[in-house]
Amino acid sequence: MDAALTALMIPPGQCAFGLKSLPDEATNTEMTEPEKLFLRWWDTVEKLRGSLMLAFERVILEDLDFCNSAHVEQGMWKSVFYAVLESLRTWQSNPYLTALLPKPTGSEAEKAADHCGRLGQLIRQICVEQV
């Protein structure tokens, strides 16, 4: 289970292009392409986190004694919450690490700074509201 989440926690820019588009993605013209790709990636992570929580819940309900001795609850917390939050915090402070933003060149520096700021705000909002 942990391997599934770890595999998905690679930077969104390395996998978001291959993920299914969100239903409202085409009509939302206010968002930049990096923001749309990040939300596409986040939607996939949320679904995976939900599946992992259900799997952990089943294991805990099946054998509570084993779960207590094997510290399953701590493992769940680390996998489902901590690892995700730490990645988001890193990307929030440096959105270029998401691999969704190209490195700015001299003439595009202002536009790149705007995209970087907007993506950072989106990541911050997800950290506060959804993790």
pLDDT digits (tens, 9 = 90+) for 64-91: 999 999 998 888 888 788 888 898 999 9
User: Residue 113 domain-assigned?
Assistant: yes
Least confident of 5-9, 46-50, 70-74, 107-111: 5-9
User: What is the rounded CA–CA span in Å between residue 97 and residue 90?
Assistant: 8
User: What is the rounded CA–CA span in Å between residue 78 and residue 82?
Assistant: 5
User: Residue 4 domain-assigned?
Assistant: no
User: What is the rounded CA–CA span in Å between residue 35 and residue 116?
Assistant: 10
The pLDDT of residue 5:
66
User: What is the rounded CA–CA span in Å between residue 115 and residue 76?
Assistant: 34
User: What is the rounded CA–CA span in Å between residue 109 and residue 87?
Assistant: 25
User: Residue 40 domain-assigned?
Assistant: yes
| Number of domains into which the chain is organized | 1
Domain ranges, residue 55:
30-101+108-130
Higher pLDDT, 73 or 131: 73
Degrees, nearest 5: CA angle 89-93-98 = 75
**Mean pLDDT within 100-116:** 82
The pLDDT tens digits for 25-76 are 888 788 889 999 999 999 988 998 888 889 888 999 999 999 999 998 888 8
Place of tokens 């239903």: 23
User: What is the rounded CA–CA span in Å between residue 15 and residue 119?
Assistant: 17
The pLDDT of residue 65:
94
User: Residue 20 domain-assigned?
Assistant: no
User: Residue 95 domain-assigned?
Assistant: yes
User: Residue 60 domain-assigned?
Assistant: yes
User: Residue 75 domain-assigned?
Assistant: yes
User: Residue 122 domain-assigned?
Assistant: yes
